[in-house]
Structure formats: C-alpha cells, structure tokens
C-alpha cells in the first residue's frame, strides 16, 4: 500500500479512493474562462484540477482562480522555481515540478521549504518525451527502467531536504512501457502514484490507450489518482476516467449501463436508445444498473437483473423495475419513462 498525502482536503494513496484529475486548456491568466472550465470539470466529476503555469501572468492568476473554485488546484510548472514559489504563496494545493530541472539544489530547497510550510505536496511528473539525456543514453531509449530511474533522481533531491510529501507519475506514450514503469515503481517505492498515458491523441484511440494502460494498472491494484489525457474538451477526460474506474471495478458509485450488441432479432432502435440513455445517465450519480436490451430472448432476463431496464419489442418496449414488468411503452416515450423510474429509485 502506498503512503497517504493530502491535496487540499483530498486524500491520495494509503487506500483512499482513486481520484479523477483533469487539466484545463484555457489560458490560465484568463481567470474567468479558467474558472468556468474548472466548474464544468468539477460538475462532470473531476476531483482535482491542474492548470499550466508557463509565466508570471499565469502564476498571478492562481490566487483568483483558487478563490472561485471548490476543488483542489494543482499548478503545472516546468523549470522555473520562482513560478512555483509564487503559486505556493498564492495558495495552490499541489505543485507539479521536476526538481532535477530547476537549476540547482538551492532552488530545490527553497521550493521544498515553501511547500512544507504550507503542507503542499509535489508531484514529480516523469515523461518519456523529456527524459534526461544521460538516462536515455544509459538505457538506449525510453524504457520502464529509465522512467523509474529518472523519478528516483528527482525524489532523492527532495528527500535530501527532508521533503517526502510526494506523488509520482511515469508517463509515456507507449502503453506497455507506461504499465511496466508503474509496476516497477510500485515495487520500489510507496509514494502515491498518479496514473496516466501521455499524448494518447483524439478520443477514439486515446480512451482505448488510457483504458488499457490506466485501467490495467488499476485492476492490478496500482494507482492512487489518474488523469486521462485526450486531445479534446477536458470534460471528455473526466467522463472517460469515470468509465475506466467503473470498468476496472475500482469505483462502484454511479450508474452502470448494460446494453445488448443488437442482432437480427432487434426490432427497435436499440443503438439510438442506448446512446440516449448513456448520455442522460451522465447526470445521474445513483449506484444503479440500467439495462437496455433489444428483444425478448435475453432482454427480460438481463433487464430483470438490473435495477431498471428496457426490453425492446416491435416499435415499443417493456419497462422493468427490479425484475418486475412495469408497463409497455411506445418507443418514443421509452427513455423518458425509464428516467422517470430512475428518479423514483
């Protein structure tokens, strides 16, 4: 088991529930746009949010953003320790910075001391795309061992100044390399692990890569927090993260949709219905199973095992509630009737 740290009030590691993170893609110095996006992310289920801090204007916006949001705020900083100090003073809840890249031990000490004083953890974010040259040369490229060695280099710098309020990520764009790196790290260290596969691309492959990589690790019991990286509206990252947690069997809250694949027996627009139900379930957080089945062969059986369900007929469907037929409903009213039933649960 990993040790536990706190990001704002949110526990990470030590058996705490795996948290969902995302990152804004607004300009951080545009406070209104960033706050609006963070609120959308939080409403979708994001529990910790990260903003890029590339310059002083962004760092100066952190305080104002923090005042207007309800979830912990992480600042993402590359190289510039002064930006980290600025953000810590402004009240951020976590700093993502790699201490080996900030230009000397005195700077590492200053960042470590500032964070310690405020109880702010640091995430060491190792990324396959920016591994140190000597490590790349030693391992002949981005390997799991190379990622882990890089992480330990940064960790030792912080530990040298007595700082252990740390979590670690080891991202690469290769799913097998990422998975092997986290597995290796989890054997060698008990710092909480932030899971992610990086640069996964647009949603179709991105979600698949993240599901295999992050979901596979979660199913092995590895990982304390996660971010799905997609070239998309970040709200999509949060939805994908929720689905991965559910598919990996890690999170049992929220609804689960069971839908049949359709076949030659289907006489109702099952795919349309399933998509509509899935969309509308995004705003439901009850831990229920909802079945959307195409016909009377398997439909009633599956639908009756669910809390609520639909089994299709010819242009109409049966509505089930905990194994009991509630009524027959014309196709156009099925989804509304289903959600009326979900409301009652």
Shortest separation between residue 269's beta carbon and ligand SF4, angstroms: 12
Round to whole Å and give the CA distance between 338 and 310: 8
| Region of 221 on the Ramachandran plot (φ > 0 left; ψ -120 to 50 alpha; else beta) | left
Nearest CB to ligand SF4, comparing residues 4 and 298: 298
Round to whole Å and give the CA distance between 157 and 126: 14
Count of Cβ atoms closer than 10 Å to residue 146 Cβ:
24
Round to whole Å and give the CA distance between 258 and 175: 27
Round to whole Å and give the CA distance between 84 and 306: 50
Shortest separation between residue 318's beta carbon and ligand SF4, angstroms: 12
Nearest CB to ligand SF4, comparing residues 1 and 297: 297
- Tell me which of 118, 156, 204, 265 binds ligand SF4, using CB under 6 A: 265
Nearest CB to ligand SF4, comparing residues 248 and 303: 303
Q: How many residues does the chain have?
A: 345
Name the one range near ligand SF4 by CB under 6 A: 46-54, 75-83, 179-187, 260-268: 260-268
Interaction mask 276-295, ligand SF4, x per CB under 6 A = -----------------xxx
Rg over CA atoms, the chain: 23
For Cα atoms 35, 65, 84, give the angle at the middle one, nearest 5 degrees. 130
Nearest CB to ligand SF4, comparing residues 233 and 316: 316
Interaction mask 294-323, ligand SF4, x per CB under 6 A = xx-xxx------------------------
Round to whole Å and give the CA distance between 75 and 86: 11
Shortest separation between residue 312's beta carbon and ligand SF4, angstroms: 7
Answer yes or no whether residue 262 interacts with ligand SF4 by CB under 6 A. yes
Q: Which residues bind ligand SF4 (CB under 6 A)?
A: 260-263, 265-266, 293-295, 297-299
């Amino acid at each position: 088991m990993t040790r536990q740290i706190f990001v704002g009030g949110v526990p990470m590691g030590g058996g705490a529930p795996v948290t969902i993170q995302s990152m804004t893609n607004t300009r951080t110095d545009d406070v209104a746009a960033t706050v609006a996006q963070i609120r959308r992310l939080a409403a979708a289920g994001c529990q910790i949010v990260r903003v890029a801090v590339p310059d002083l204007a962004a760092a100066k916006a952190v305080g104002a953003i923090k005042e207007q949001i309800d979830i912990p705020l992480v600042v993402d900083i590359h190289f510039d320790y002064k930006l980290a100090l600025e953000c810590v003073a402004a009240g951020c809840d976590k700093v993502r910075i790699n201490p080996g890249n900030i230009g000397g031990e005195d700077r590492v000490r200053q960042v470590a001391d500032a964070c310690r004083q405020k109880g702010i953890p640091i995430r060491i974010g190792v990324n396959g795309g920016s591994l140190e040259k000597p490590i790349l040369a030693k391992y002949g490229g981005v390997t799991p061992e190379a990622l882990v060695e890089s992480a330990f280099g940064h960790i030792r710098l912080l530990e040298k100044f007595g700082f252990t309020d740390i979590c670690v990520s080891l991202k690469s764009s290769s799913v097998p390399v990422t998975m092997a790196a986290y597995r290796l790290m989890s054997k060698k260290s008990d710092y909480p692990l932030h899971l992610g596969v990086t640069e996964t691309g647009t949603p179709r492959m991105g979600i698949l890569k993240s599901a295999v990589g992050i979901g596979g690790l979660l199913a092995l019991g590895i990982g304390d927090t996660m971010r799905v990286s997609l070239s998309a509206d970040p709200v999509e990252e949060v939805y994908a993260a929720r689905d991965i947690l559910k598919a990996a069997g890690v999170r049992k809250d929220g609804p689960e949709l069971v839908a049949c694949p359709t076949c030659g027996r289907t006489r109702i627009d099952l795919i349309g219905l399933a998509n509509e139900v899935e969309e509308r379930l995004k705003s439901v957080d009850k831990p229920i199973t909802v079945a959307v089945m195409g016909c009377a062969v398997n439909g009633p059986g599956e639908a009756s095992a669910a809390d609520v369900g639909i089994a299709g007929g010819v242009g109409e469907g049966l509505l089930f509630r905990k194994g009991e037929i509630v009524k027959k409903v014309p196709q156009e009213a099925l989804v509304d009737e289903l959600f009326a039933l979900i409301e009652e649960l």
